[in-house]
Structure 1
Amino acid sequence: MLILVLLGAGGIVAWSQIGVMGAEKAPLAAVRENPAITVDDAEQGIVLAPADGDSEIGLVFVPGAKVDPWAYAAILQGVAEGGVTVVITRPWLNLAFFDPRPLDSFTSAAPDVDVWAVGGHSLGGVRACQLAADADALVLFGSYCANDLSGTDLAVLSLAGSEDGLSTPAKISDARGNLPADADLVEIDGASHASFGDYGPQAGDGTPSISDDEMHATVTELLGAFLSEDALAAAG
């Protein structure tokens, strides 16, 4: 029995390391060269912060299953430029469900930030929903909640892609009842599941018709407005 358990555990570990979708080089290089932000490969995660150090709002972001966390740096750098400190987590075994760490394990990367949103892409968004009780807001990229948050006063922004072949708009709509009544659901025309990161095509996904630059700009605009001090104050 012990041998079977060890073999099973070893198999899970091996599977979690095979087929990890890596960050595309060009978008990541642009992040590293961006003078408007700082990039810190910290113990808590990848920290993107405004270069002037003026940040009062933070976002803990959980990657999708078997996606390199660096693949989300380019799409999130825009909100960091706007004053939001972003902490991209590194889920254990590259799968958010195997990572039991609480939210403060990641917010400790920026102890001077008082207001925190939690978010994630795909499976990372499902995990973010589980951490949302300790946050001020929730952000979903091509994802939905499996737990019921409908009775909370949590501010929620849910972004879907019209061409998403995995977390389809229909699946996101079906799970709408788990979110507060005033949650903001936005469908981005032409976006696929993989449009929410920079890691290349993904099996089972749709074909995007939106360019990477346009996708980044759209997410920056929507997420930046949602994470503004006035917006979160009004929601709270």
Structure 2
Amino acid sequence: MTDSAAPAAPAPRRRRRWLRWTLGGLGALVVVLVGGILIYSQVGVMGAEPGPLASAEADPGLTITDDGAGIVLSPTAGATGQGLVFIPGAKVQAEGYIATLADVVVDDGVTVVITKPWLNLAFFDPRPLSTFTDLAPDVSTWAVGGHSLGGVRACQLATDADALVLFASYCANDLSASGLPVLSLSGSEDGLSTPQKIADAKGELTADAAFVEIPGASHASFGAYGPQPGDGTPTADPAEVDRVIAEQLAGFLPRP
């Protein structure tokens, strides 16, 4: 009785062909994914509304400096040493928040750095908080905050700051034991970061986090970049929303 022949090992040529196909397929998938992200990040980008931006730029009490990494809003006089690093929402240009944040700069002496996220998406921006706080070296206490997706990214950077401010946003990481002062600003008519979503994520924040819902404000009410798909219909006057935001920030931001 003879032994049956052992299975032959795959031929080297066949193995090389399989490896080329596999690597080629993975390479094509990476190209498709990167291309898709690039296209998505550049389509439908929302810029600043010309009227509110022009009004803010004309305010003698506001100094605007574009540093490439971010836009620095400084009070022309009366700086308090308080600062806020503000991260924009997905596919919203930094300029779309200048008019909204101008009041707290001019009236309360707070310095604001509006970041310019890579690809207009905060999740793809790995830079640390110091990249932006270094743009205003005279500021001694810093809060980090952000709108929508920018707020989610702000939560990830929050332990390097003195406080956290959420603008129509909520955290995806647990900060409940961080001891950080937290202010959550939201809108009653927000169709994206809805009141229910904000309530559901409350457990990720510290027990003494402050929640302020602005009546009549929508998701886009926290910037000046025009209406946003999927949002609710705002009933609050934009100037009133800006005033409430400034008032809440002035009473919350840590002092040197």
Common topology (TM > 0.5): yes
User: After superposition, what is the alpha-carbon deviation per residue over 1:133-153, rounded to whole angstroms, capped at 9, x for unaligned?
Assistant: 100000001000000000011
Q: How many residues align?
A: 230
Counterpart of 2:212?
Answer: 186
Matched residues in 2 for 1:43 and 1:209: separation?
A: 35
One-letter identity of the residue aligned with 2:224? D
- Cα offset for 1:3? 3.1
Structure 2 residue runs of 5 or longer lacking an equivalent are 1-24
Please report the RMSD computed on the Cα atoms of aligned residues, expressed in angstroms. Answer: 1.2
Structure 1 residue runs of 5 or longer lacking an equivalent are none
SS at the partner of 2:211?
strand
8 Å CA contact 2:87–2:114 kept in 1: the answer is yes
Counterpart of 2:145?
Answer: 119
Rg (Cα) greater in structure: 2
8 Å CA contact 1:150–1:177 kept in 2: the answer is yes
Matched residues in 2 for 1:120 and 1:148: separation?
A: 17
Counterpart of 1:67?
Answer: 92
8 Å CA contact 2:141–2:254 kept in 1: the answer is no
Matched residues in 2 for 1:203 and 1:171: separation?
A: 18
Counterpart of 1:131?
Answer: 157
Matched residues in 1 for 2:32 and 2:172: separation?
A: 30
Map 1:137-216 → 2, pairs under 5 A: 137-216=163-242
Counterpart of 1:79?
Answer: 104
Identity across the alignment (%)? 63
Matched residues in 2 for 1:97 and 1:156: separation?
A: 21
Matched residues in 2 for 1:216 and 1:36: separation?
A: 16
Counterpart of 2:70?
Answer: 45
TM-score normalized with structure 1 length: 0.94
Matched residues in 2 for 1:57 and 1:111: separation?
A: 11
Matched residues in 2 for 1:198 and 1:214: separation?
A: 13
Matched residues in 2 for 1:100 and 1:127: separation?
A: 10
Matched residues in 1 for 2:240 and 2:177: separation?
A: 35
8 Å CA contact 1:87–1:106 kept in 2: the answer is yes
TM-score normalized with structure 2 length: 0.87
Counterpart of 2:32?
Answer: 7
